[in-house]
Structure 1
């Protein structure tokens, strides 16, 4: 009889199924597919039906959560509405996922607000357009089998050798108060250097220094290969051929995003920081406790952006096309119906159908504060990855009611001219009337 690999250092050995009592029938069907793993591989599957009369149920649940290696969440509107699940079960599971590598597997039972919650940062077994209650009987069994298969892969995979991570306590900080800070990171609020920056960044390093020092808390935009993204506060950063960042998430959604990124292992696609965009290959993401505060350390290899091949179409030079792209992106201005640019903006060259700003404003809940944080970084990503400009000289957004005034100046590298071309946009973009529910950053053709 086969047995799951033993690892004395691995305290988390169980599967925990979190579900609403109203979805008990789905839980029973899932348990049936997991039964062979229990019997043949001695993997313990814990559900609250194991509680016996007289048990101290809260203590038993806490004990089960502490042993959880894989948590399967049966997502439905009932699940999301459960106060007990959200207050007692999810917090320790999310904390364990962030600090100890517990795997979170959402299984979507029915249509719900899952995509609007921090839990959506975890890769679901089935897509939001394929909840179990919309599938045929055969498709349901296939999906439940995929859950069992994924769990089997997790438990049968050779245990990775743990990498020691320093945990800095307040006492340790006090003892080392006179020690020189590590050279691994350069504090962005105190020092900025052009050394090690890609050539494309050197032209605008000086204006970006001024912008960075004036902006207060630094923020970075992290983009997954799936197109999902999050803007997260940056404590330290060093960027050259390798990107190193110390991130300090301030909200549950930011923590969930980083946790999902760490679980995927190689899900990072790009990073935007200080008006620069970087294509990235994720190398490492781990947490360190510093002075009783958790910091996420990200290391990734950076790659230069690959410019797409540009052509002249109907007397519209690439520079003219870039100006039109900038106006579409920043002002939501469509070319005239009879203009050759209308065809170019249909997708073959631009990959842009409309400005992301109205949808972005709606996505952040019409919050002016949040919009001011994320919009410049999202626009920087689009301006670079659509090959509109290579350098951003100025990007100012002034929000007033349902509109935003944009003052933008960017520079394109010399291609068809002897000197670089400047792209400027200065006007008002209306934010009302968005139909999209979310802005995904990708895929873009030049990405």
Structure 2
């Protein structure tokens, strides 16, 4: 592999890690109550934004130095024709989201779905506006239900409210995915049929892979 390609791939991988870390901290900042903790999180987010900008500059400079025969065709992103899927989840449940995304890999590779998470927010984008815009355009909205999900103010005030309004208008389909036991009775989405069957949380399965297969099979039925 050409040396510049290796360097470029390394920078792009590092950029993804920085963006993911910044998004996690930004989400934690939303739910932080302690002022000292908020200040510390804000400083970390600012430092990461500076690192992200620096890395983007390095990538841009490297791409400009690459010969045409190396750079040609490498910057055009693939546009999926699949259903746009928005994941509403708590950062505490990120491991569950990652597991679900891995199990949905076949649907993504077949262009059946176009998953979107907050990790896809680009450097310099307003995260609040981006989330609201993506939520308003999604075909399917998956709610990853847990106690932390229900306790997150932003999810309650923005994501659940918008999701249920769009579901009621027939603009999108909302599917609760029960990942950890919690008291969700009386919630706006409580009347909807969720996954896995009988609202059994994924964490309650002895074989988690079996639970996710059941979830993915349910999603496939509405594509």
TM-score normalised per structure 1: 0.31
Equivalence for 1:148: 216
Assess, with a 3 A threshold, how the Cα gap between structure 1 residues 128 and 154 changes in structure 2: closer, same or farther: closer
Q: Residues 395-434 of structure 1: matches in 2 within 5 Å?
A: none
1:66 to 136, 146, 152: 136
> What is the CA-CA distance between 1:148 and the residue it aligns to?
1.8
Matched, 1:80 2:117: no
Partner Cα separation in structure 2 for residue 149 and residue 134 of structure 1: 18
Structure 1 segments unaligned to the other structure (5+ residues): 6-12, 156-447
1:126 to 185, 196, 204: 196
> What is the CA-CA distance between 1:65 and the residue it aligns to?
0.8
* More RCO (CA 8 Å, sep 6+): 2
Alpha-carbon RMSD? 2.0
Partner Cα separation in structure 2 for residue 149 and residue 127 of structure 1: 11
Partner Cα separation in structure 1 for residue 214 and residue 187 of structure 2: 24
2:106 to 23, 26, 36: 36
Partner Cα separation in structure 2 for residue 130 and residue 146 of structure 1: 11
Equivalence for 1:112: 182
Matched, 1:19 2:99: no
Assess, with a 3 A threshold, how the Cα gap between structure 1 residues 42 and 127 changes in structure 2: closer, same or farther: closer
Partner Cα separation in structure 2 for residue 112 and residue 128 of structure 1: 14
Structure 2 segments unaligned to the other structure (5+ residues): 1-79
SS in 2 for 1:114: coil
Assess, with a 3 A threshold, how the Cα gap between structure 1 residues 71 and 19 changes in structure 2: closer, same or farther: same
Equivalence for 1:192: none
Partner Cα separation in structure 1 for residue 184 and residue 81 of structure 2: 32
> What is the CA-CA distance between 1:101 and the residue it aligns to?
4.3
Partner Cα separation in structure 2 for residue 112 and residue 65 of structure 1: 24
Aligned pair count?
144
Matched, 1:55 2:133: no
Report if aligned partners of 1:125, 1:147 keep a CA contact under 8 Å in 2: yes
SS in 1 for 2:144: strand
> What is the CA-CA distance between 1:49 and the residue it aligns to?
1.1
Partner Cα separation in structure 2 for residue 126 and residue 25 of structure 1: 17
Task: State the structure with more CA Rg.
Answer: 1
TM-score normalised per structure 2: 0.59
SS in 2 for 1:116: coil
Partner Cα separation in structure 1 for residue 158 and residue 96 of structure 2: 21
> What is the CA-CA distance between 1:151 and the residue it aligns to?
2.2
Q: Residues 163-182 of structure 1: matches in 2 within 5 Å?
A: none
Assess, with a 3 A threshold, how the Cα gap between structure 1 residues 20 and 4 changes in structure 2: closer, same or farther: same
Assess, with a 3 A threshold, how the Cα gap between structure 1 residues 51 and 110 changes in structure 2: closer, same or farther: same
> What is the CA-CA distance between 1:153 and the residue it aligns to?
2.4
Report if aligned partners of 2:147, 2:182 keep a CA contact under 8 Å in 1: yes
